[in-house]
Chain A
Amino acid sequence: MAGGDIDMNKAIISVKALVKTYKMGDVEVHALRGVHADIIKDDFVAIMGKSGSGKSTFMNIIGCLDVPTRGQYLLDDVDVGSLTKDQLANLRNRKIGFVFQSFNLLSRTSALENVELPLMYNKKITSREMRERSLKALEAVGLAGRAHHFPNQLSGGEQQRVAIARSLVNDPVVILADEPTGNLDTRTSLEVMAIFQELNRKGITIVIVTHEADIAAFTKRNITFRDGRIIKTVDVDKPRNAMEELAIMPVMVEEDDV
């Protein structure tokens, strides 16, 4: 179904006949009704669909936050379906980076320490290494100078960039972003997309969930969900370039400068 089958590149996310059914009281909710998809290395995928289409459930499952009712999910050749809760947590810790719509930073914790958080749950990493890698991640999102600011001292765009830094600090196989621009204005949305495109160029696989078509236009491939199934997979012919658009965008007075 996806282009990954033809591609020479290896699929790092591979789902087959994925089914997820919830029980809400007596009613069974079929969130996913048999989803097949492959996401290859270096891919930049936008998952689209209305609310209730199953895209969030799909993201939760590929993010190892949830397990499918039926079907197979291979993440980096690991069969996720058979793992325990602790193994799932370890997988999230080592192979996945999350970016959320509402940033989800720990308040009253500095940007740097927020970025360090995933590494804290990895016993093999020393404090020193933790600090170095976190600073590097903050640098990659252009926030090296804000390392010791607290979330409430940062603008929305900056907070989301801290969250992106946190998602990439553990060197994940894939970054999963759930409506990353949902709480941001046009300009900061562009900034965030520019960072994603830059990271993707460096070889990081990114999957974002969005319902905005113009945001999806920055990615390489759009997958559309409806009623728990993939109804459409489109390769974006010529993705928009966020960096270029930012350059020609009229400069606006930032309201929330710090």
Chain B
Amino acid sequence: MKMKNLLRAALRSLAKNKMRTFLTMLGIIIGVASVIAMLAIGQGSKQSIQAQISTLGTNVLMIWPQASSTGGVRMEAGSSQKMTLEDVTAISDRCPSVAFVTPQVRSSGQLVNGNMNWRTSVYGVYPNYFEIRNLNLMSGNLFTMSDDRSATKVCVIGQTVVNNLFGTDADPVGSYIRINKIPFKIVGITEKKGQNAFGQDQDDMVIAPFSTVQKRLMAITHIQSMLASAKSEPQIPAASQEITDVLKAKHNLGPSEDPDFTIRTQTDIANAATATSGILTILLATIASISLLVGGIGIMNIMLVSVTERTREIGIRMSVGARGRDVLLQFLIEALLISLLGGFIGISLGVLVSQLIANLLSWPVSITVQSILMSFIFSSAIGIFFGWYPARKAAGLNPIDALRYE
């Protein structure tokens, strides 16, 4: 039988029992729609986490010294003082995959402006810190490397600090504040960045030249950590490897020895943060797939009823020359049509529901082409899988018995 005629015969028999066809299809529709919606929710939350992670900067690598130990007593992580500015220079000179690298020290400071005061973190970094972390200035200018060399008392402050020391909407560029009683000139204000993935206010900080903070505020000689950025995302692993090699060489460690520092990349952090949402997505999609499976069983059930009901029709068709595979194909196409049509409606419904969730609950949703494609393939596979047995049964009928069937 030609495909066109097969399709027409299948459509006609589905149209004959509209209610039954619809109810059977409903199983698939609900299954596919829930798979689409659940995947959309999962993807959406994953993407929003990734978007937050990206506020850390672009292709960032964080380098921390390991814990120090004094006479067998081990101190907290990052307490080792072995990291020096020479390490920073070595990395920037010898690591081709690294775009920028800056030393970093962090101190707590009591900030005072007139009768207002505020306590926050003061970071000492090179100006390229702004490139690494993707920070922009809202007003004023950045300090320079020469400010660093001469340990100038200048700083850039975040919006939260402005609000607490000068009041909202103030532009204190050029004003002086005192940090731990030392006067600093405000040269710039950073753009608002909001909270990071861990709920930290990224606008509540002061950034000053590295040497200023290291020498004037903290009076230490080592550096606490380093921040670097790879030239591109695929180069992050390479950058990480190069930094490891350079630092090991600098610290006189053999290739087989454990490094005395830790590197964490932005990808690591993103993976850790999205792992939970990934598990959630799989869980949701699994539950939704079960309903799709139940829908498939519904198809099988109704196709079995249909084969029994139409035994005589099968007999007639066989008597005029239908071969087993003609009958098989006819019933298979019916099952496939139910599941594909159901899949199609289900996809549309799923997209609609996802939009509704996005609009009414303002949850982040993201519908991917993959999830639509997967639903489509999955529902047609279900049609073929669950349609096969009834169709096989129809094709195996003996024409004489089928014709006699009442």
Q: Pick the residue among A86, A93, A98, A106 that contacts B324 (CB under 8 A).
A: A86
Contact across chains for B403 and A104 when beta carbons are under 8 A apart = yes
Residues of chain A contacted by B317 (CB below 8 angstroms): 117, 121
Q: Is A122 an interface residue (CB 8 A)?
A: yes
Residues of chain B contacted by A85 (CB below 8 angstroms): 323-324
Please judge, given known A-B contacts A65-B399, A65-B400, A120-B2, whether A93 and B321 are in contact too, CB under 8 Å.
yes
Q: Pick the residue among A66, A89, A94, A106 that contacts B316 (CB under 8 A).
A: A106
A61-119 residues with Cβ-Cβ distance < 8 A to B are: 63, 65-66, 85-86, 89-90, 92-94, 98, 100, 104-106, 108-109, 117-118
Q: Pick the residue among B320, B323, B325, B400 that contacts A60 (CB under 8 A).
A: B400
Q: Is B215 an interface residue (CB 8 A)?
A: no
Contact across chains for B400 and A121 when beta carbons are under 8 A apart = no
A134-178 residues with Cβ-Cβ distance < 8 A to B are: 166, 170
CA distance A85 to B327 in the complex (A): 13
Q: Is A202 an interface residue (CB 8 A)?
A: no
Contact across chains for A104 and B316 when beta carbons are under 8 A apart = yes
Q: Is A23 an interface residue (CB 8 A)?
A: no
CA distance A86 to B323 in the complex (A): 6
Contact across chains for A94 and B324 when beta carbons are under 8 A apart = no
Please judge, given known A-B contacts A65-B400, A104-B316, whether A118 and B321 are in contact too, CB under 8 Å.
yes
CA distance A98 to B402 in the complex (A): 15
CA distance A108 to B360 in the complex (A): 47
Please judge, given known A-B contacts A100-B403, A120-B5, whether A92 and B319 are in contact too, CB under 8 Å.
yes
Chain A residue with Cβ nearest B317: A117
Residues of chain B contacted by A128 (CB below 8 angstroms): none
Residues of chain A contacted by B245 (CB below 8 angstroms): none
Contact across chains for A94 and B320 when beta carbons are under 8 A apart = no
Please judge, given known A-B contacts A66-B400, A121-B1, whether A109 and B320 are in contact too, CB under 8 Å.
no
Q: Is B280 an interface residue (CB 8 A)?
A: no
Contact across chains for B321 and A89 when beta carbons are under 8 A apart = yes
Residues of chain B contacted by A117 (CB below 8 angstroms): 316-317, 320
CA distance A121 to B403 in the complex (A): 18
Q: Mark B106-128, 1 if CB is under 8 A from A, else 0.
A: 00000000000000000000000
Residues of chain B contacted by A65 (CB below 8 angstroms): 318-319, 399-400, 403
Contact across chains for A104 and B400 when beta carbons are under 8 A apart = no
Q: Is A123 an interface residue (CB 8 A)?
A: yes
B279-325 residues with Cβ-Cβ distance < 8 A to A are: 312-313, 315-325
CA distance A109 to B12 in the complex (A): 9
Query: Which residue, of B320, B322, B325, B326, has the highest number of chain A Cβ atoms within 10 A?
Result: B320
Q: Mark B389-400, 1 if CB is under 8 A from A, else 0.
A: 000000000011
Q: Pick the residue among B12, B321, B403 that contacts A90 (CB under 8 A).
A: B321
Please judge, given known A-B contacts A90-B321, A118-B321, A121-B322, whether A108 and B1 are in contact too, CB under 8 Å.
no
Please judge, given known A-B contacts A60-B400, A65-B400, whether A122 and B321 are in contact too, CB under 8 Å.
yes
Residues of chain B contacted by A66 (CB below 8 angstroms): 400
Contact across chains for B312 and A120 when beta carbons are under 8 A apart = no
Residues of chain B contacted by A94 (CB below 8 angstroms): 321
Chain A residue with Cβ nearest B310: A106
Q: Pick the residue among B5, B16, B400 that contacts A108 (CB under 8 A).
A: B16
CA distance A170 to B5 in the complex (A): 17
Contact across chains for A106 and B319 when beta carbons are under 8 A apart = no
Q: Tell me the minimal C-beta distance from A179 to chain B in angstroms.
A: 13
CA distance A105 to B315 in the complex (A): 11
Q: Tell me the minimal C-beta distance from B186 to chain A in angstroms.
A: 84
Residues of chain A contacted by B16 (CB below 8 angstroms): 108
Chain A residue with Cβ nearest B320: A118
Please judge, given known A-B contacts A65-B400, A120-B5, whether A104 and B321 are in contact too, CB under 8 Å.
no
Residues of chain B contacted by A86 (CB below 8 angstroms): 323-325
Contact across chains for B312 and A104 when beta carbons are under 8 A apart = yes
Chain B residue with Cβ nearest A90: B321
CA distance A66 to B1 in the complex (A): 22
CA distance A166 to B325 in the complex (A): 22
Residues of chain A contacted by B320 (CB below 8 angstroms): 92-93, 98, 117-118, 121, 166, 170
Residues of chain B contacted by A121 (CB below 8 angstroms): 1, 317, 320-323, 326
Please judge, given known A-B contacts A60-B400, A106-B313, A120-B5, whether A92 and B321 are in contact too, CB under 8 Å.
yes
Chain B residue with Cβ nearest A104: B316
Residues of chain A contacted by B403 (CB below 8 angstroms): 65, 100, 104
CA distance A108 to B12 in the complex (A): 9
Q: Tell me the minimal C-beta distance from A23 to chain B in angstroms.
A: 14
Residues of chain A contacted by B321 (CB below 8 angstroms): 89-90, 92-94, 118, 121-122, 170
CA distance A106 to B316 in the complex (A): 8
CA distance A96 to B5 in the complex (A): 22
Q: Tell me the minimal C-beta distance from A177 to chain B in angstroms.
A: 12
Chain B residue with Cβ nearest A166: B320
CA distance A33 to B321 in the complex (A): 28
Q: Mark B335-349, 1 if CB is under 8 A from A, else 0.
A: 000000000000000
Q: Tell me the minimal C-beta distance from A68 to chain B in angstroms.
A: 14
Please judge, given known A-B contacts A100-B403, A104-B403, A120-B2, whether A89 and B323 are in contact too, CB under 8 Å.
yes
Q: Tell me the minimal C-beta distance from A250 to chain B in angstroms.
A: 36
Chain B residue with Cβ nearest A97: B320
Chain A residue with Cβ nearest B402: A65
Interchain residue pairs with CB less than 8 A apart (22): A60-B400, A63-B319, A85-B324, A86-B325, A89-B322, A89-B323, A90-B323, A92-B319, A92-B320, A92-B321, A93-B321, A94-B321, A104-B316, A104-B403, A106-B313, A108-B16, A109-B12, A120-B2, A121-B323, A127-B4, A166-B320, A170-B321
20 other contacts beyond A65-B399, A104-B312, with CB at 8 A cut-off? A89-B318, A89-B321, A89-B323, A89-B324, A90-B321, A92-B318, A92-B321, A94-B321, A104-B403, A106-B313, A106-B316, A109-B12, A117-B316, A117-B320, A120-B2, A121-B1, A121-B322, A121-B323, A121-B326, A127-B4
- Closest 7 A/B residue pairs (Cβ): A93-B321, A118-B320, A89-B323, A121-B321, A86-B323, A92-B321, A104-B316
What residues make up the interface of B, taking CB atoms closer than 8 Å to A?
Answer: 1-2, 4-5, 12, 16, 312-313, 315-326, 399-400, 403
